Structure 1
Amino acid sequence: MDASLPSRRPAYRVPLSLTAALCAVTLAAGCSPAGAGAQAVDRQPARGAHSAQPAPLTQRSGNDLQSDYETVIRNVLPSVVQIESGNSLGSGVVYDGKGHIVTNAHVIGDRRSFTVTVANSEQPLRAELVSSFPEQDLAVIKLDSVPRGLRAATFGDTSKVAVGQIVLAMGSPLGLSSSVTQGIVSAVGRTVSEGGAGGGTGATIANMVQTSAAINPGNSGGALVNLDSQVIGIPTLAATDPELGNGTAPGIGFAIPVSMVRTVADQIIEHGRVVDSGRAALGITGRTVVGPDFQPAGVAVVTARKGGAAAAAGIAAGDIITQVGGVRVTTIASLSEVLAADRPGQRVKVTYTRGGATRTAEVTLGEM
């Protein structure tokens, strides 16, 4: 990918497993990409027993920086596990001392039992699904028995993640367990949509952390870590360039921010499921429609759920949504990306067409 050529739009893929097909995703329409510059805010405290944090870094020599890398790896790598889900292989992060492990929903797929390899156990361990939340591509599994010395990771603060920070990606790329790659935070606030084919969940995820650390198949569900030995994200997506035969574009990967990881994992552990997604929704099913030029031109409402946000505002099946909150909507993906930046209960203006006439409605957004 050549970022200097704006006409070239990269595709994105989910680094799913060694055997599953990779899933195409796209960046948000109309931005570089949508949501860039948005701030993520932690809403939940960290949970679980976590190791002490090293002192903040100051001006470092080359040898000191190498020592910092080695310290981070010693602190965090024992908390990163390998997950086998049928023929799929991915990674996970030990969330607490009770054996809960957080990973990507696309890593576990539709299975309920897994084989997990942890750093302090020679034998693979069994784990069971607690719950999956495909809408955010996150899931929690739990070890059947907790090995002695299991170490939970330390989870950082999304609001302190800044462009230029050195980060390490830890996981099992290509089946190479306990592997580490290095890079920087390239951007924050990215909104990315996964496709639903080839093993992806179809999720639209806001406020993702973009990194230059290599993200490869098998890294999904692992840890993106800062030099304070804190997990700041869960690596989930890697970019590909269609002009290079859909080969992986070096240095463009994405991780789910730790604030969302905590929000989802804490609810799953406490309630067995996500009870408050924090994600806005219109309460419709829809499909992309094309205009006279055969280009995507909006989202046709297939169904508007009774009592849902759209139906309550008078939007009905057959209407074509073209704008939400003043942002143009051309596809199902772009609609999801716009809503990803909003909150349930927020009032937005929705522009739609009915019988060739343009209409607007004030909609109080519901919850996904």
Structure 2
Amino acid sequence: MSASPHRRPSRPAPLLVTAVLCVTSVLCAAVLVGGCSQASAPRPSAPSGQEPARAMAPTAANELEDDYLTVIRNVLPSVVQIEAGESLGSGVVYDDKGHIVTNAHVVGDARSFAVTPATGEAPLTARLVFSYPEQDLAVIRLESVPDGLEAAKFGDSSTVQVGQIVLAMGSPLGLSSSVTQGIVSGIGRTVSESSRDGTPGATIGNMVQTSAPINPGNSGGALVNMESEVIGIPTLAAVDPTLGEGQAPGIGFAIPVSMVRTVADQIIRTGRVTDSGRAALGITGRTVLNDDYVPSGVAVVEVAAGGAAQKAGLRAGDIITRVEDEEITTITSLAEALASRRPGDKVTVTYERGGSRRTAEVTLGEI
């Protein structure tokens, strides 16, 4: 589905969130840091019966710290910094042939890149293989693969659970090889990226929500579980409307590893994406306003020949107002309603034609 002007859980209501892309400028590497300390009063000794508990606490903390250090040693060498013109982001080494997966918005319109490995070598040159903005993923390839460069281990999306400890690795604000920590806060989120240059951003389904800080420059990096497996590509941070353009603390989103592998494998094998796995109506649409200038539906501007909408009887001029039980008011809400569905799914589409309300059973096609 394409859109003129102008992401939902597996089935719960769509997530209503404004999100910003986490790519930064190469000129924004200066960071102000500060600290404070405070003397503490001596603690009274605990009753003797509490000594075993006190003795166990440092052991548990040390074990968790050791686990963190192991994961970082295993994965961080596979996370790189990518400079693409004026922008800077992150990437993950995908295989031993020098392929690196990142976000499409990190590569932008560039075709060549400076890639700096976490292990500290001088920047390497890479070329674009293919960018797929519809899912905000891209693959680039190093022109020369240095000795010792190792591919990351990619996990299984079906095993990701809310509450899992995760680490986010990348180059926030140009600080390469940075690591932040949090948990999986939610799964199955559908999120729409903020618009760029007047063009609507991608709407991505089944994203992993995390409390690990995702800052500008983290885009394209690695969201990693405690088994040293990449489970997602950090891409977005939510915006708190009360803070203007400020990010909402502790709400970030990563593209799930299942989609990363699906897209990257196709790009590496064929040089493009041949099977998106994403549902489409097969229309070009635009948001329409009611008499009170409130968005109230999506007008069908054009129907693709042989597409899902045409086969179901929809035509130019129809105004789509609902998909199943989800109200459609904008082109973005339509994209969100379709994002977590699959080609071949059957849905009921409610629309208006000539002032009367109608429904159609649509077998969804593919983007």
- Per the shorter chain, which TM-score range? 0.7 to 0.9
Q: Which runs of 5+ in 1 are unaligned?
A: 1-8, 22-59
Within the candidate set 8, 19, 22, 1:15 is matched to 22
Closer, same or farther in 2 for the Cα pair 1:81/1:201, shift >3 Å?
farther
- After TM superposition, give the deviation of residue 292 of structure 1 in Å: 2.8
| Aligned residue number for residue 261 of structure 1 | 260
3-state SS, counterpart of residue 317 of structure 1:
coil
What amino acid is the match of 2:358? Answer: R
- Aligned counterparts, 1:173-252, within 5 A: 173-198=172-197, 202-252=201-251
- Normalising to structure 2: TM-score of the pair? 0.85
**Alignment of 1:346 onto 2:345:** yes
Distance 1:62 1:205 in 2: 37
3-state SS, counterpart of residue 321 of structure 2:
strand
**Alignment of 1:154 onto 2:161:** no
3-state SS, counterpart of residue 209 of structure 1:
strand
Closer, same or farther in 2 for the Cα pair 1:110/1:151, shift >3 Å?
same
Closer, same or farther in 2 for the Cα pair 1:98/1:200, shift >3 Å?
farther
Distance 1:359 1:245 in 2: 40
| Aligned residue number for residue 42 of structure 1 | none
Closer, same or farther in 2 for the Cα pair 1:107/1:155, shift >3 Å?
same
What amino acid is the match of 2:151? Answer: A
Closer, same or farther in 2 for the Cα pair 1:302/1:170, shift >3 Å?
same
3-state SS, counterpart of residue 276 of structure 1:
coil
Closer, same or farther in 2 for the Cα pair 1:200/1:186, shift >3 Å?
farther
3-state SS, counterpart of residue 285 of structure 1:
strand
Closer, same or farther in 2 for the Cα pair 1:235/1:247, shift >3 Å?
same
Task: Tell me the alpha carbon deviations over residues 22-45 of structure 1, each in whole angstroms, 9 at most, x when there is no partner.
Answer: xxxxxxxxxxxxxxxxxxxxxxxx
Task: Tell me the alpha carbon deviations over residues 139-166 of structure 1, each in whole angstroms, 9 at most, x when there is no partner.
Answer: 0000001100111000011111111111
Task: Tell me the alpha carbon deviations over residues 9-62 of structure 1, each in whole angstroms, 9 at most, x when there is no partner.
Answer: 7532111222699xxxxxxxxxxxxxxxxxxxxxxxxxxxxxxxxxxxxxx811
The answer as to whether partners of 2:191 and 2:336 remain within 8 angstroms in 1 is: yes
Distance 2:126 2:226 in 1: 30
- Normalising to structure 1: TM-score of the pair? 0.85
Percent of pairs with identical residues: 71
- Aligned counterparts, 1:320-335, within 5 A: 320-335=319-334
The answer as to whether partners of 2:18 and 2:194 remain within 8 angstroms in 1 is: no
3-state SS, counterpart of residue 224 of structure 2:
strand
3-state SS, counterpart of residue 61 of structure 1:
helix
Superposition misfits of 4+ residues, deviation over 4 angstroms: 198-201
**Alignment of 1:299 onto 2:295:** no
- After TM superposition, give the deviation of residue 343 of structure 1 in Å: 1.2
| Aligned residue number for residue 366 of structure 1 | 365
Closer, same or farther in 2 for the Cα pair 1:117/1:200, shift >3 Å?
farther
3-state SS, counterpart of residue 206 of structure 1:
strand
Deviates more, 1:91-100 or 1:194-203: 194-203
- After TM superposition, give the deviation of residue 262 of structure 1 in Å: 0.4
Q: Which runs of 5+ in 2 are unaligned?
A: 1-15, 29-58
Residue correspondences, number: 322
